[in-house]
């Protein structure tokens, strides 16, 4: 067990296509080399770590009617690759690679590692962080307004 201080404010579902090619120098592709199209699906959470609030992160006005909150920027969690929805779409191999494949199952670990990196990049390019910051602001504002405060949320 562990204590958590993160507010998971938004999540995104992404699908990306990876084109992974391994050529062998000076050898025709028909003999050696490999090209794989891999479709990866996964989700990425965006969170705000409220555990990093500083001492001046919550300031109540002298009259006790207004609260100013300084919250950290949203961050992206590690992508969660959905193995049941990720697959090799197409694979072309040279003769030598085909013979190697007969010896045992191919190592697909590199596809999954590359897929996680591409899913993380897709999440960065999306509006996920902006949405997480807005959802955090709305949640904190609503909670503190219900206690009777006027609220100002500042994202650091």
Euclidean distance between CA atoms 30 and 24, whole angstroms: 11
Tell me: the pLDDT tens digits for 107-149? 677 888 999 999 999 999 999 999 999 999 999 999 999 999 9
pLDDT of 107 reads 64
β partners of residue 91 = 36
Q: What does residue 110 show for φ and ψ, rounded to 5 degrees?
A: -65, -30
**113-118, Cβ contacts within 8 angstroms, sequence gap of 24 or more:** 114/18, 114/20, 114/38, 115/16, 115/18, 115/38, 115/40, 115/42, 115/79, 115/81, 115/86, 116/40, 116/42, 116/78, 116/79, 116/81, 118/16, 118/18, 118/40
Tell me: the pLDDT tens digits for 47-106? 999 888 888 888 999 998 999 999 999 999 999 999 999 988 877 665 555 555 555 556
Is residue 46 within 8 Å of 75, Cβ to Cβ?
A: yes
Q: Which of 25, 78, 18 is nearest to 47 (CA)?
A: 78
pTM of the full predicted structure?
A: 0.78
Tell me: the pLDDT tens digits for 24-55? 566 555 555 677 799 999 999 999 998 888 88
């Amino acid at each position: 067990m562990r204590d958590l201080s993160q507010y998971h404010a938004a999540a995104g579902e992404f699908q990306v296509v990876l084109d992974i090619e391994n050529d062998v120098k000076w050898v025709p592709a028909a003999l050696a080399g490999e090209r794989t199209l891999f479709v990866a699906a996964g989700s990425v959470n965006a969170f705000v770590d409220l555990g990093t609030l500083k001492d001046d992160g919550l300031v109540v006005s002298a009259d006790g009617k207004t609260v100013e909150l300084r919250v950290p920027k949203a961050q992206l969690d590690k992508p969660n690759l959905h193995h049941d929805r990720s697959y090799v779409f197409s694979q072309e191999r040279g003769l030598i690679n085909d013979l190697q494949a007969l010896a045992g199952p191919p190592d697909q670990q590199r596809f999954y590692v590359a897929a996680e990196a591409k899913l993380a990049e897709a999440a960065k390019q999306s509006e996920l962080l902006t949405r997480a910051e807005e959802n955090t602001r709305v949640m904190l504002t609503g909670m503190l307004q219900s206690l009777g405060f006027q609220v100002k949320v500042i994202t650091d």
